[in-house]
Amino acid sequence: MALPKIDPTTTKAWSNLATHYEEIKNQHLKSFFESDAQRAERFSIAWEDFYVDYSKNNVSEETLKLLLKLAEEVKLKDAIHSYFSGDIINETEGRAVLHTALRSKKGDTIKVGGSNVIEEVYQVKEQIKSFTEAVVSGQKKGYTEKKFTDVVNIGIGGSDLGPVMVTEALQFYKNHLNIHFVSNVDGDHVYEVLKKLDPETTLFIVVSKSFTTQETLSNAITIKKWFLQYATEGDVAKHFAAVSTNTAKIEEFGITAENVFPMWDWVGGRFSLWSAVGLSIALAIGYENFEQLLEGANGMDIHFKETAPGKNIPVILALLSVWYNNFHGAETEAIIPYTQYLHRFSAYLQQGIMESNGKSMSRAGQRVGYETGTIIWGEPGTNSQHAFFQLIHQGTKLIPTDFIGFKESLHGDKDHHNKLMANFFAQTEALMNGKGEEEVKMELETAGLASERVEKLLPFKIFEGNKPTNTILIKKLTPKSLGALIALYEHKIFVQGIIWNIFSYDQWGVELGKQLAKNILADLENSEIGNHDGSTLNLIQFFKE
């Protein structure tokens, strides 16, 4: 079944939300707690190792009721069914969207074009398993019979960001293999990585769904040339593996069939870390841990698919985000993990969220008359507190923020962890409550400041508060909980796309970039320059001089 094509602004819930917004917009967030002692319990969801508190949001019972009604009116339930069943919901590319199938249970059946994709998924998983075990154990060796010590993932965008983020996040679980990433077509990136490598002990994985991406192919060719300075053409088979849907192109590159890992057109690049695109993850943390990552995501899939909207974590977080984006006029959202391990998490989600929902055409092919995709940014806490938190606390912009923290640290240093988490809790509390005039005054007076100085400083030291946050508190950062956390945001993306009536799973903006660069490359390489606007022409000429 195709996705419904309902303009959200035509629903009854939308107009009710607009009226409701006018009634509620001046209510300070902390006042919701003053009038409701049970708010924290009622506006939170406990699920497995997760505790999600969304009570520090500018919403009342009524707001939530209306937002849930909106989800109902845009037929979210039917859409979820289509998503999980392999319907062609990526209509502009004519594809199903089945990253959820990559973490399904063995006996499950999901059919695309008449065949059960789960069987193919499990065949490839077996291949990942045996390859990984052979490399990690040292059974698989390089051309001089030495064990592999280093692995290089050559890919970009969806074929890079997920593996980078997860291998960083799960560093604690890593084995002896050093993992490197080459993504940018900037030659300085690849040459810097090559400086650290020994050709005899390095394994290269070329990851490209299409196997036509300029950056990845250029880097793969450069690396192969470097490798051939030391080894022979026949040795390529031992040191290069590839992940792609385009197996014909891989053969041309000289990679043996045994080292080719297939993927499918129903896996979008930015949702592909669960497939063989995650081979570098499996190599870094071992196959069992990779399985755990998938299991965690599968748990969140089941939660999302089967839980009533009012207790459904991705649904609630998506609706809150719609509330701020479309009614409060918020433009950005910050994601702040309180663990250094997740330092690439926001960068990863920038692609997932902004590439998916950065669209202005409705599913009916008309320009939407409302805001869609939010701008995502963030860095880990506490570092971010010493950087941009000033703007969140006292700037003019509304920035709903997700705080992600863990009950236990991995190295187990209680002293550090308590300090970290004290900051974590203090920030959301301060963002909500702010600091009033009386409190500031008293603080300054107690510090012994003269009353004239107190009066002068007062306005600058006041915090309005009323800044919304979600708190996602998880027991421990493990492959499993990370899998669930990533899947949570994947499903949030889906829900928002459904509400905004856009296609979340194509990326024509990315395709445009690929096309444009090709044309200009010819201008840079040939003596003639083609037709361009005056500015571009000048710039190209300046570059060529």
In whole angstroms, the minimum distance from the beta carbon of 287 to ligand G6Q comes to 23
Cα 188 to Cα 179: distance, rounded to the nearest angstrom: 18
348 CB-contact burial (10 Å; exposed 0-12 / middle 13-18 / buried 19+): buried
DSSP characters over 529-544: -----HHHHHHHHHHH
- If the CB atoms of residues 208 and 374 are measured against ligand G6Q, the closer one turns out to be 208
State which H helix or E strand residue 139 sits in: none
Q: Which lies closer to ligand G6Q via its Cβ, residue 156 or residue 342?
A: 156
What minimum distance in Å lies between the beta carbon of 529 and ligand G6Q?
Answer: 27
Look up residue 399 and give its two tokens.
């920035």
Residue 158 or 381: the one with the smaller Cβ distance to ligand G6Q is 158
Closest CB to ligand G6Q among residues 162, 468: 162
Rounded distance, CA 414 to CA 61, Å?
A: 38
Q: Is 154 helix (H, G, I), strand (E, B) or coil?
A: strand
* Residues 6 or more apart in contact with residue 497 via CB below 8 angstroms: 356, 357, 503, 504, 505
165-to-265, 280, 451, 471, 480 alpha-carbon distances in Å:
23, 11, 52, 21, 15
Nearer to ligand G6Q by Cβ, of 454 and 510: the residue is 510
Distance in Å, CB of 55 to ligand G6Q, minimum: 34
Residue type, 304: F
Least Å distance, CB 216 to ligand G6Q, is: 5
Residue 96 contacts residue 506 (beta carbons within 8 Å): no
CB-nearer residue toward ligand G6Q: 265 or 439:
265
Rounded Cα distance between 246 and 262, Å, is 8
Residue nearest to ligand G6Q (CB): 157
Quote the least distance from Cβ 190 to ligand G6Q, whole Å.
Answer: 15
3-state SS class at 88:
coil
Q: How far is the CB of 209 from ligand G6Q (least distance, A)?
A: 4
Question: Which CB sits closer to ligand G6Q, 159 or 401?
Answer: 159
Q: Are the C-beta atoms of residues 277 and 157 closer than 8 Å to each other? A: no
How far is the C-alpha of 322 from the C-alpha of 126, rounded, in Å?
A: 41
Residue 428 or 504 having the CB closest to ligand G6Q: 504
DSSP state of 507: -
CB 128 within 8 A of CB 243: no
Shortest CB 22 distance to ligand G6Q, Å = 39
For strands 469-474 and 401-406, give the pairing: parallel
Distance of alpha carbon 290 from alpha carbon 280, whole angstroms: 10
DSSP assignment of 171-209 equals GGG--S-EEEEE--S-HHHHHHHHTT--GGGEEEEEE-S
Residue in the block written with tokens 């291998």: 167
Q: What is the 3-state secondary structure (H, E, C) of 37-60?
A: CCHHHHCEEEECCEEEECCCCCCC
Query: Any idea what the Cα angle at residue 7 is, between residues 356 and 367, rounded to 5°?
Result: 65
- Active-site residues, by number, are 355, 386, 514
> Is the Cβ–Cβ distance between 136 and 130 less than 8 Å?
no
Which lies closer to ligand G6Q via its Cβ, residue 273 or residue 316?
Answer: 273
In the complex, minimum distance from the CB of residue 268 to ligand G6Q, in angstroms, rounded to a whole number: 5
Which stretch of DSSP H or E encloses residue 251? helix 247-253
Residue 153 vs 374, nearer CB to ligand G6Q:
153
- CA angle, 164 then 170 then 173, to 5°: 135
Question: Whole-number minimum distance, CB 201 to ligand G6Q, in Å?
Answer: 26
CB 212, CB 249: distance < 8 Å: yes
Positions in the binding site for ligand G6Q (CB under 6 A): 156-159, 208-210, 213, 216, 268-270, 355, 507, 510
Q: How far is the CB of 155 from ligand G6Q (least distance, A)?
A: 6
Residue 105's identity, in one-letter code, is: K
Kindly tell me which of 384 and 507 has the beta carbon lying closer to ligand G6Q. Answer: 507
Closest approach, Cβ 141 to ligand G6Q, in A, equals 28
